[in-house]
Amino acid sequence: MISPEEKFRFDLEGYLVVKNALAPEEVVELNRMADENYSEDYDEKCVRSRFCISQWGPPFQSLIDHPSALPYLVEFLGTKFRIDHDYIMFMIKGSAHGRIHGGPAMETGIEEDHWYRCHKGVIRNGLMVFTYCLTPAGAGDGGFICVPGSHKSNFVMDIPEEVRLQERDADYVVQPKADAGDLIIFTEALVHGTRAWTADHERRALLYKYSPGHSSWSQNYYRPEDYPKATEQQLRIMAAPSVGSRPDSIQAK
């Protein structure tokens, strides 16, 4: 179960680093299968990415409803959550950085799913990201960065453009440290981005994104025929968005 301290920290900062979410043998197998399934060269930005990695085999499919993630999915998205899309982000030293983006929808003036709410002790979010780290990200290595607490800020639009473009450092932009096997969870209502990778080893991140059962960010939905060995629970989680009579994603056995 999620602890009261974790709930406090997520409400305070908009993200969590869950330590040792993957066992060492899972990290080894996922890295091995990534090498087996993905041989494309890096692009001019020193980045490699591909969607639908959940189709790469049982270890990747199992991340859809990994036991380490389920308590956080229910706590932050409710009992009828769904997976929206999944992909990898691999980076090597010298990679380009990305623009800092995201933030509460009410601040951008756009009707979207980047939102955060807490009412009577119950936390709910729009689109959320569950990032499994297959390699470590030490202090200054780069990768995921964010502005802690910005998911509740009233002045997100006042972040200077040069900070968003990472042309100027700001002490309110942080890069959380993570080890291989850790899980970084954050709401898309959090201002976040990707810092250029500076470590000698490759950055390997698996991103699985989830929505409340009634909404979708992606225009493409999961197809059961692409997952012939999916469990009933995984099929419920992969179901297209709906409201009426939608079953709970996790059901008592």
- In order of their start, the domains of the chain are 21-238 (2.60.120.620)
- Is residue 196 within 8 A of residue 92, CB to CB? The reply is no
- Which residue shows structure tokens 């002045």? 155
**φ, ψ at 209 (rounded to 5°):** -110, 140
pLDDT (tens digit, 9 = 90+) per residue, 13-60? 999 999 999 999 999 999 999 999 887 777 777 787 889 999 999 999
pLDDT (tens digit, 9 = 90+) per residue, 135-149? 999 999 999 999 999
pLDDT band at residue 109, thresholds of 50, 70 and 90?
Answer: low
What was the pLDDT predicted at 104?
79
Mean pLDDT value across residues 215-223: 94
Structure tokens at 4: 């009261």
Residue type, 56: W
- Is residue 153 within 8 A of residue 13, CB to CB? The reply is no
State the sign of the Cα–Cα–Cα–Cα dihedral 129, 134, 177, 179. Answer: positive
pLDDT band at residue 105, thresholds of 50, 70 and 90?
Answer: low
Q: How far apart are CA 3 and CA 18, in angstroms?
A: 11
Mean pLDDT value across residues 99-126: 82
- The counts of H helices and E strands in the chain are 7, 10
Which has more pLDDT, 237 or 95? 237
- Which residue shows structure tokens 């780069």? 142
Pinpoint the alpha helices (H) of 14-155. 24-37, 58-61, 70-77, 105-108
What was the pLDDT predicted at 111?
58
pTM of the model: 0.95
**φ, ψ at 94 (rounded to 5°):** 95, 5
* Whether residue 110 has pLDDT greater than 80: no
Percent with pLDDT over 70 in the chain: 97
Mean pLDDT value across residues 99-123: 81
> 237-250 in b/e burial notation, b at 16+ Cβ within 10 A?
bbbebeeeebeebb
Mean pLDDT value across residues 70-88: 97
What was the pLDDT predicted at 205?
97
What was the pLDDT predicted at 41?
76
Q: What is the DSSP string of 169-231?
A: --TT-B---B-TT-EEEEETTS-EEEEPP-SSSPEEEEEEEEE-TT--SSS----GGG-TT--
- Is residue 143 within 8 A of residue 175, CB to CB? The reply is yes
**φ, ψ at 90 (rounded to 5°):** -110, 140
pLDDT (tens digit, 9 = 90+) per residue, 169-187? 999 999 999 999 999 999 9
Q: What CA–CA distances, in Å, run from 242 to 133, 231, 246?
A: 31, 20, 6
Pinpoint the alpha helices (H) of the chain. 4-13, 24-37, 58-61, 70-77, 105-108, 161-164, 232-238
* Whether residue 239 has pLDDT greater than 70: yes
The mean pLDDT of the chain is 93
Mean pLDDT value across residues 112-129: 94
* Whether residue 106 has pLDDT greater than 60: no
Give 177's contacts (C-beta < 8 A, 6+ positions apart): 17, 137, 138, 139
